[in-house]
Amino acid sequence: MPLLLGCSFKTYFSHARTLEWLRAVAETARQHPAVSDGRVELFALPQFPSIPEALETVAGSAGGGLVAIGAQDLAEHDEGAYTGEVSGAVLAELGCTLVEVGHAERRRLYGETEEVVAAKTTAALRNGLTPVLCVGEEDRMEADRAAEVVAAQIASALAPAREAGLTGQLVVAYEPVWAIGAAEPASAEHVVVVTGALRPRLRADTDLPGRIIYGGSAGPGLLPRIAAGVDGMFLGRFAHDPAAVTAILDEVLDLDPGTGLDGTDADAGRPGDGDAPPARAPR
């Protein structure tokens, strides 16, 4: 299963810079063996107004189709009198394949509750979009306890979709809230314990199979230390320079595709005695 590397631009990029970044990364994807060999799939989440031209840019570039485009949010409802909202139905119509849901900043700044996150997750699945469901503990705590907190968040977000009988793919972006925007990410040991506890359950789900990626000050140098427990990374400001994406793709080439650096089975997603490595983009 290929690793999934994605980047949300939040509101950092202008429209012009968004397209410039996409052209550069699409060209890298065309040439880089980590992508051409199927080891990595890429996605990007621009601001809403940039989505149509972003889709055209990646489709028409030399690396056409190698960077999936999604959105940073969506409405709970597919249509109606909801001024200012953008529906999953329209995102799917445009050609988006995935959408971010429940980022900590939306929970904090806009008061999105677990109920709202669940409704948006359901809206994404209802429209054939892969939710990139952001979860993570707010405060520092033991990794085993953090895994319990995150498992409860995932269960809450998926409950209405399960009740409605919806199926589809899921990407869980594990982002400890305390690590977002920090100078350093969570420790590799912490990440691998948390994601390793969740990964088998996500993969075993027959209706909503999921992969887990790590975000929260994620950038070059981190993947080799956590890849035994994750299926990829959700990159932030450290990937605003396309060269950083290239650096991470280079790191993928050094990963053993079958085992972690510590010799554990990567599919087991459990940490061993040392640091660790490797795993697909939504369609």
In a domain, 262, yes or no: no
Per-residue pLDDT at 93: 98
Q: Give backbone dihedrals phi and psi of 46, rounded to 5 degrees, phi first.
A: -85, 175
Query: Where residue 279 falls among pLDDT bands split at 50, 70, 90?
Result: very low
Number of folded domains that form the chain: 1
Tens-digit pLDDT profile for residues 124-168? 999 999 999 999 999 989 999 999 999 999 999 999 999 999 999
Residue 37 in domain: yes
Residues with a known catalytic role: 103, 175
* Residue 13 included in any domain: yes
In tens, the pLDDT along 27-62 reads 999 999 999 999 999 999 999 999 999 999 999 766
- Does the pLDDT of residue 273 top 90, yes or no? no
In 3D space, the residue among 150, 157, 261 whose CA is nearest the CA of residue 212 turns out to be 150
The mean of the pLDDT values for the chain is: 89
Asked whether residue 282 is assigned to any structural domain, the reply reads no
Least confident span in 69-83, 228-242, 255-269:
255-269
Q: How far is CA 228 from CA 17, 80, 148, 207, 277, in A?
A: 34, 44, 20, 24, 4
Domain with 237, as residue range(s), is 3-254
pLDDT-derived band at 238 (thresholds 50, 70, 90) equals confident
pLDDT at residue 62 in the model: 63
Residue 224 forms part of a structural domain: yes
Q: How confident is the model at residue 73 (pLDDT cuts 50, 70, 90)?
A: very high
Q: What is the CATH number of the domain that holds 62?
A: 3.20.20.70
Domain membership flag for residue 11: yes
Which uninterrupted H or E stretch holds 104? helix 104-109
Q: Could you give the CA distance from residue 14 to residue 143 in angstroms, rounded to a whole number?
A: 37
Position 283 in a domain: no
Is residue 278 domain-resident?
no
Q: Give the C-alpha distances (Å, rounded to integers) separating 175 from 66, 82, 115.
A: 25, 29, 19
Instruction: Report pLDDT digits (tens) over 244-263.
Output: 999 999 999 999 765 343 33
